[in-house]
Amino acid sequence: MKSPDIFLFLLLIFLTPGNGGAQPESGRLSLPQLVSQAQGQSIAARQAKTTMDTRYWEWRAFQSALRPQLLLLGNLPDFTRDFQEVVQPDGTVEFQSVTVNNSGLRLGLSQSIAATGGELFASTVVQRFDDFDRNKAIYNGQPFAVGFTQPLFGYNELKWDKQIEPLRYQESQQLYRQRREEIAVEATGLYFDLLLAQVNLELAQGNLSSNDTIFKIALERETLGQLSRNDLLQLQLSVLNARKDVASARQGLEAAQLRLRAYVGIKEQQALNLEVPADIPALKVEEGRALELAWANRPEVTGFKRQRLEAEQAVARARGETGIAATLSASFGLSNRAARFDEIYRQPQDYESVQLQFSIPIIDWGRASSRRATARANQEFAEASVEQDQANFEQEVRTQVKLYNMLREQLQLSYDADQIAGERYRIAKGRFLLSGLSITDLNLALQEKDFARRDYIQALRSFWLAYYNLRSLTLYDFERGAGL
């Protein structure tokens, strides 16, 4: 090796930076840290939490309907001053002045019966009537009464709600966990968008530094007659293109950073320096295990049960609301009237009331049969839809497991290609400076180096998206071996 060549080669090593264009350490973030932030503070996370809280209070409201209800009813006062028509003994009508107050209170305790759709109740009632024109007041009341109301042959909504509402609540909890994993997937995509933009800037800055150094050395070689003018101009053009690439990469970095900040909710304005994920989960997921977890944890599975029950509910409603309808009501207790309030509770009389109301359709021109047939058809359609959704759901899980395992195996290949391409470029650059390689071959090595680096980042992106998608499909953390 000639001494000028040795000098140029050593100068190249001295001037070439080890990590061209590296970002500052401030704002350094790993992928798990960013996912955790997105799941905790992003707008999407807050919306998911609000939706879950809303469903929780709806569930609490339903549960309260199953418990005894204590209610105070009253009209106090109920004052009237008016002229009202009064039929006289001879059949004529006269309008007489009436000034009255008819006030009452009722304290009632009721309990719904989900199994039958009926209701048990206990109550106490007091009523006072004041006739101000005649300066007279009387009391009426039921010191105690118990009874029940029971629909017969009809649709029992509470019975069906008792089966469906727990599924709705369970589904809402699973939907919240699923939404958190979907947020992780979205945040991961934005993370690698920014990481790729960061890598593009680093590559562009490194290429600019290398091309600038090579161009300076080429000027010396052109002076010594060791390089043609055409090759020198081509190197100068490479420097100009590298400067353009740096400007474009910097703009792409800023745009990706803004998108990531907006989604995750990062308020600090310091530069974000993302880490290239080095720790890859060294686990292979079995299809059978993933399917088992998906069937146990996913909201779709709970939704399948709910949809079937809702279809059966619609059939029961159509039958109950189109046939014979009857309601049996009965109450028993004590009743009294008196001129004084305390006398109501002295020697009250027995009180009984029994009532049966019914409705029997005679001619409805096929309305009832049409509603029932429509409900049954909708049930068959819902059953077919659920079967199709189940098949699609299972296929989606199987496909995602295969994709994850494939990407996990291919990731090492992309890493090796990145290392080899980088080493090849360093060798090509040294050979070019020693006049052992053409500019075309040097540029080809540079392109392959950049492509391999970007391909490795894209491979990481695909792997982590597949990993978080698999977590979303199973609602299971395979690294910790626990549910989400």
Write the pLDDT tens digit of every residue in 164-183: 999 999 999 999 999 999 99
Residues 429 and 413 in one domain: yes
| pLDDT higher than 90, residue 309 | yes
Residues 442 and 341 in one domain: no
Residues 376 and 259 in one domain: yes
Residues 273 and 223 in one domain: yes
Asked if residue 217 lies in contact with residue 12, where contact means CB atoms within 8 angstroms, the answer is yes
Domain of 221? 3-64+159-318+370-483
For 296, residues 6+ apart whose C-beta sits below 8 A from its C-beta are none
Which range of 37-46, 228-237, 238-247, 264-273 scores highest in mean pLDDT? It is 37-46
| pLDDT higher than 70, residue 18 | no
Q: Read off the CATH number of the domain in which 54 is found.
A: 1.20.1600.10
pLDDT of residue 135: 86
pLDDT of residue 220: 64
Residues 80 and 104 in one domain: yes
* Residue 230: band (very low, low, confident or very high) from pLDDT cuts 50, 70, 90: confident
| pLDDT higher than 60, residue 392 | yes
Percentage of residues in the chain with pLDDT exceeding 70? Answer: 89
CA 475 to chain centre: 13
Average pLDDT over residues 294-302: 91
Average pLDDT over residues 154-160: 88
* Residues 240-253 pLDDT 10s: 877 887 888 888 88
Residues 457 and 347 in one domain: no
Q: Is residue 344 part of a domain?
A: yes
Percentage of residues in the chain with pLDDT exceeding 90? Answer: 27
pLDDT of residue 191: 92
Residue 328 corresponds to which tokens in the numbers above?
């049996």
| pLDDT higher than 50, residue 421 | yes
Q: Examine the fold and report which residue of 360, 385, 416 is the final residue of a domain before the chain moves on.
A: 360
Q: Is residue 125 part of a domain?
A: yes
Terminal-to-terminal C-alpha distance of the chain:
63
Residues 205 and 187 in one domain: yes
Average pLDDT over residues 445-471: 87
Residues 150 and 163 in one domain: no
Residues 187 and 82 in one domain: no
Number of domains in the chain: 2
Residues 351 and 412 in one domain: no
pLDDT of residue 439: 67
Residues 138 and 272 in one domain: no
Asked if residue 349 lies in contact with residue 167, where contact means CB atoms within 8 angstroms, the answer is no
pLDDT of residue 216: 74
Q: Is residue 172 part of a domain?
A: yes
Q: Is residue 365 part of a domain?
A: no
| pLDDT higher than 90, residue 107 | yes
Residues 393 and 259 in one domain: yes
What residues form DSSP beta bridges with 86?
A: 94
